[in-house]
Structure 1
Amino acid sequence: MIKKIKKFLRKIIPEPIFNWYHYFLVFLAALYYGFPSRQLIIIGITGTKGKTTVTELVNAFLEAYGKKTAMINSLRFKIDKRSWENNLKMTMPGRFTIQKFLADSKRAGCFYVILEVTSEGLKQFRHKFINFDVAVFLNLQPEHLESHNNSMDDYCAAKEKLFAALKGPRKNIPIDHQIGKIDCYVDKKIVVNCDDDYKDRFLKYYADDKIGFAIKKENCDKVKNFYKPTHFSLSPNGIEFELNNQKFSSPLKGLFNLYNLLAALATANALNVPLGSIKEAMAHFNGIPGRFEEINEGQKFKVIIDFAHTPDSLKAVYQTIREQFLTKKDNKLICVLSATGGGRDKWKRPVMGEVAVKYCDEIIITDEDPYDEDPKKIMLAIAEGVKKHNKNYQIIEDRRLAIAQALKLCKDDDCLIVTGKGSEQVMVVKNERRIPWDDRRVAREEIKKLLSFKKNEK
């Protein structure tokens, strides 16, 4: 009901007034909790893809070097050893939640705080009165454009607000050391993906240090330190690359994860974590729930759950499977895909269907988080992209039945990928009703049923 009232008020109240409302709430929250970020090292990570993985990697690299950390991302909240799920369906939570979190982090002695920063959060001023020290830009691709006047330029401008927030003075934070408390002067740092077309939009902002990473570019203007592997290899076992005469390895898969690794490495190294420590932590980082996560219940084919929910991210995961997992010509890629409702990114639905046509041998379109939209209309919109190319497909609205049917299509050494929800724990349907859900749990249950059925058949 409250959300419906807010939606109605948005229609009748001018946007500048709503902006002042958001700004006032942010100030009030920071004031109430005593502006805690002034005594913390705040790392903000933004981009379209990879934010959650990079926040987790940076956290792992800092912890491996003995730093106490706190973190907010789309998966969880974490303060030192305490961690709890983020079930808000909101990456950047409300201002009082964030400011309280920062105050709790400060009390716990977690001086390094890693925040996943979204364009919607920035648009609603949720970054205001948070004194950021490090801003990281990963990439920019079309997403949430309906919130940004259907303009990539406006979408980029929203992301830039994080980098504009580095303007504040350098902090002097007393940190515990073996010789007692020592002053830690914190330089402002920018870390940017130099392979991205929008890099210059972020490098134009002030920082004491500007750091770049890339796989394609040989160099990057305006950056002081540049991280580019001299060579790399991608395989079903993971990623290997060489950098600064050191060999790194990771169990993560795919080119998209190599970018994530480089972003986290550059960020941690900029915070004085040695490459040797990063190298060791990287080798032991096995990924995060629902991000290219393999489900193994003893079946003779691969099952992968991934959060991919844009055409570009679908292409990245499909391409990785095609190039690295399907080694025989007759191996098939079976795809279960869906799209979020609520009027979000309607443009992408048929485009996702077209991406599936290019890479998938079997396509099953299903329901995801319809909110107040008609699920059938969402699924038919995806199907429009498939029909353009006269490719066969199935529409199965019940997500469990869709996964079960996809499993039945799998033969030895095939690969099934279920995208859209990753490790999300709820499905949001009409009237904001939340139904408990987990793609990974459902996949495990349906695999066990299938294996039991086949065993009884013999």
Structure 2
Amino acid sequence: MTVKALLKNMVPKKIRNLRHLFFAWWGSVQYKNPSKSLFVIGVTGTSGKSTTIHFLRQMLEGAGFTVGSLSTIDFSVAGIQQLNDKKMTMLGKTAIQKFLRDMVEAQCDIAIIETTSEGRVQHRHRWIAYDAMIITNLYEEHIESHGSFENYKQAKKDIFSYVSSLAPKNKSGLSKTLQKAWSGETVPKVFVLNTSMPQVKEFYDCSVGEKYLCTVAGEKKYFTPNTADRELILDTVCTKKEGISFTLNKKDITTASIFGEFNAMNVTLGIAMLQEFGISLEQCIHLIKKIASPPGRVEFIQEAKQHGFTAIVDYAFEPVAISGLYEIVSRLAPKRVIHVFGSTGGGRDVSRRFSVGRLVGTKADICVVTNDDPYDDDPEKIIADIVSAALDVGKRIDETCFAITDRANAIQKAVTLAKEGDVVLITGKGSEQAMVFENGRMEPWDDREEVRKAIAMR
């Protein structure tokens, strides 16, 4: 056991988190509080955070803003992107503040930060001068990390309360491009909420500022906006050959190369934020046609086409996201679905192994269960748990369910099994650039490249 792991076991979590609090403060001092010079948008929620950031950044850039963003997918500063190879969403120590300073130096107008519940517990959001917060959704996930769903929800609500508590910025401190958005001298706090979320009223009550509420027509609405709030009503979502289409406040919207009906809400949340900058819905409709899906999110591997099958790499790792992915796959009318997947170790929810195993065991024709960032957990035990759940719903070992610890070999197996008309799914890592093993050891990894290698070896 490493010294770091030993200390982690010995020192209470609340005490350990004081270290993160210090570094959050020290980073703001060291880099001269860069967020004061940016309009800072946070994006939180259980799923869809990185994708919403990716869409929002592209739309803002299309509208003429210079943007920086930090997410699970990538780090972007003024149009220059690098894939996130840190295996961390909210970066530790002083890294977030350094990126914000880089954004200021690059003359960015806006910063978008993926803001997680674990980041809040570790105080990584502190000394960031947020102006806006978007929540995508909220459901049971990360329960073992937080102890209960109530604790998890409270961590998210604390983020909203924190943003509400910050003093409004004087708009003169922001870029001239941004200053045109508001008539007053100060910059309002802005909150974007999804009314399909059962807990939306609790988040609404934590939000002090302007509010945009995104509603799905025909679905249960858990909160009715006040007259002062702005509402965007999403309706008639469908999948076309070129991407999803939907109506927003009765205006037709068609995306290019964006798949998954769940992404209609991610796009809508981004559009709501654009409204704050004076960008009309009509302008947004044109901007949307130019945006693309993020890497590792429903990413089709083109090399599979010449062999007659479809290969898709996606980040989905929990039941809700995986179910959404299967909705996309069903539109492709595959002959068979061959699914490579696993479950993350390192204190993540153990119960997820069984729920994911049952789900994929039911949905896929062939399951290939493999490693997925085991951390200090026994990878064989993780795989055995998943396989047991898949067998419970009718899969047969070494016939319709394979247990292959080495992820490269698992991908090779799936690609070898694929026949014309099949879909091969590889989920859990997306565009992540590393695999994490015991004692935090990281090895370079990219599911997409491994799929391409496997196809080349057919």
CA 1:220–1:226 in 2, change beyond 3 Å: closer, same or farther? Answer: farther
- State the match for 1:381 in structure 2: 385
Give yes or no for the alignment of 1:287 onto 2:293: yes
Letter in 2 for 1:326: A
Give yes or no for the alignment of 1:296 onto 2:291: no
Asked whether the equivalents of residues 362 and 390 of structure 2 are also in contact (C-alpha less than 8 Å), the reply is no
Letter in 2 for 1:120: E
CA 1:382–1:180 in 2, change beyond 3 Å: closer, same or farther? Answer: closer
Could you tell me which of 315, 318, 336 is aligned with 1:307?
Answer: 315
CA 1:219–1:384 in 2, change beyond 3 Å: closer, same or farther? Answer: closer
User: What are the residue-to-residue correspondences of 1:204-223 with 2, within 5 Å?
Assistant: 204-215=205-216, 216-217=219-220, 220-222=223-225
Q: Give per-residue Cα distances to partners, 1:229-278, cap 9 Å, x unaligned.
A: 24221234311112234221112111221121111111222332222332
Normalised by the length of structure 1, the TM-score is: 0.91
Distance 1:210 1:102 in 2: 25
What is the deviation of 1:21?
3.0
Distance 1:206 1:449 in 2: 54
Q: Which moved more, 1:216-225 or 1:241-250?
A: 216-225
- State the match for 1:237 in structure 2: 242
Asked whether the equivalents of residues 41 and 133 of structure 1 are also in contact (C-alpha less than 8 Å), the reply is yes
Letter in 1 for 2:116: T
Q: Give per-residue Cα distances to partners, 1:280-313, cap 9 Å, x unaligned.
A: 2211212111101001212212110001111111
Asked whether the equivalents of residues 61 and 273 of structure 1 are also in contact (C-alpha less than 8 Å), the reply is no
CA 1:395–1:179 in 2, change beyond 3 Å: closer, same or farther? Answer: closer
| Aligned residues with identical type, % of pairs | 32
Normalised by the length of structure 2, the TM-score is: 0.91
Q: SS at the partner of 2:234?
A: coil
Q: Give per-residue Cα distances to partners, 1:3-39, cap 9 Å, x unaligned.
A: x434333433344433433322222221222222222
Q: SS at the partner of 1:141?
A: coil
Q: Which moved more, 1:198-207 or 1:48-57?
A: 198-207
Structure 1 unaligned spans of 5+: 451-458
- State the match for 1:443 in structure 2: 451
Distance 1:177 1:40 in 2: 11
Distance 1:28 1:108 in 2: 22
- State the match for 1:453 in structure 2: none
Letter in 1 for 2:44: T
What is the deviation of 1:63?
0.7
CA 1:266–1:9 in 2, change beyond 3 Å: closer, same or farther? Answer: same
- State the match for 1:258 in structure 2: 264
Give yes or no for the alignment of 1:161 onto 2:166: no
Asked whether the equivalents of residues 47 and 136 of structure 2 are also in contact (C-alpha less than 8 Å), the reply is yes
What is the deviation of 1:359?
1.0
Distance 2:232 2:384 in 1: 44
What is the deviation of 1:179?
11
CA 1:402–1:221 in 2, change beyond 3 Å: closer, same or farther? Answer: same
- State the match for 1:355 in structure 2: 359
Letter in 2 for 1:364: V
What is the deviation of 1:177?
5.0
CA 1:179–1:24 in 2, change beyond 3 Å: closer, same or farther? Answer: closer
Asked whether the equivalents of residues 44 and 117 of structure 1 are also in contact (C-alpha less than 8 Å), the reply is yes
CA 1:178–1:100 in 2, change beyond 3 Å: closer, same or farther? Answer: closer
Distance 2:208 2:192 in 1: 10
- State the match for 2:232 in structure 1: 227
Asked whether the equivalents of residues 77 and 86 of structure 1 are also in contact (C-alpha less than 8 Å), the reply is yes
Q: SS at the partner of 2:9?
A: helix
CA 1:206–1:369 in 2, change beyond 3 Å: closer, same or farther? Answer: closer
Distance 1:191 1:339 in 2: 31
CA 1:112–1:390 in 2, change beyond 3 Å: closer, same or farther? Answer: same
Distance 2:192 2:178 in 1: 30
- State the match for 1:104 in structure 2: 102
Could you tell me which of 32, 35, 45 is aligned with 1:34?
Answer: 32
What is the deviation of 1:74?
1.1
Distance 2:27 2:201 in 1: 33
Letter in 2 for 1:310: E
Asked whether the equivalents of residues 131 and 165 of structure 1 are also in contact (C-alpha less than 8 Å), the reply is no
Structure 2 unaligned spans of 5+: none
Asked whether the equivalents of residues 308 and 419 of structure 1 are also in contact (C-alpha less than 8 Å), the reply is yes
CA 1:47–1:177 in 2, change beyond 3 Å: closer, same or farther? Answer: closer
Asked whether the equivalents of residues 39 and 173 of structure 1 are also in contact (C-alpha less than 8 Å), the reply is no
Q: SS at the partner of 2:111?
A: strand
Letter in 2 for 1:235: K
Give yes or no for the alignment of 1:247 onto 2:252: yes
Distance 2:279 2:382 in 1: 46
- State the match for 2:333 in structure 1: 326
Q: SS at the partner of 1:186?
A: coil
Give yes or no for the alignment of 1:417 onto 2:425: yes
Q: SS at the partner of 2:338?
A: strand
CA 1:219–1:280 in 2, change beyond 3 Å: closer, same or farther? Answer: farther
Q: SS at the partner of 1:248?
A: strand
What is the deviation of 1:135?
0.6
Distance 1:12 1:407 in 2: 45
Q: Which moved more, 1:385-394 or 1:177-186?
A: 177-186
Distance 1:228 1:56 in 2: 22
Q: SS at the partner of 2:152?
A: helix
What is the deviation of 1:384?
1.8
- State the match for 1:176 in structure 2: 176
Q: Give per-residue Cα distances to partners, 1:385-425, cap 9 Å, x unaligned.
A: 11212322111112122112212322222211110111111
Distance 2:178 2:160 in 1: 34
Letter in 1 for 2:43: I
CA 1:178–1:256 in 2, change beyond 3 Å: closer, same or farther? Answer: closer
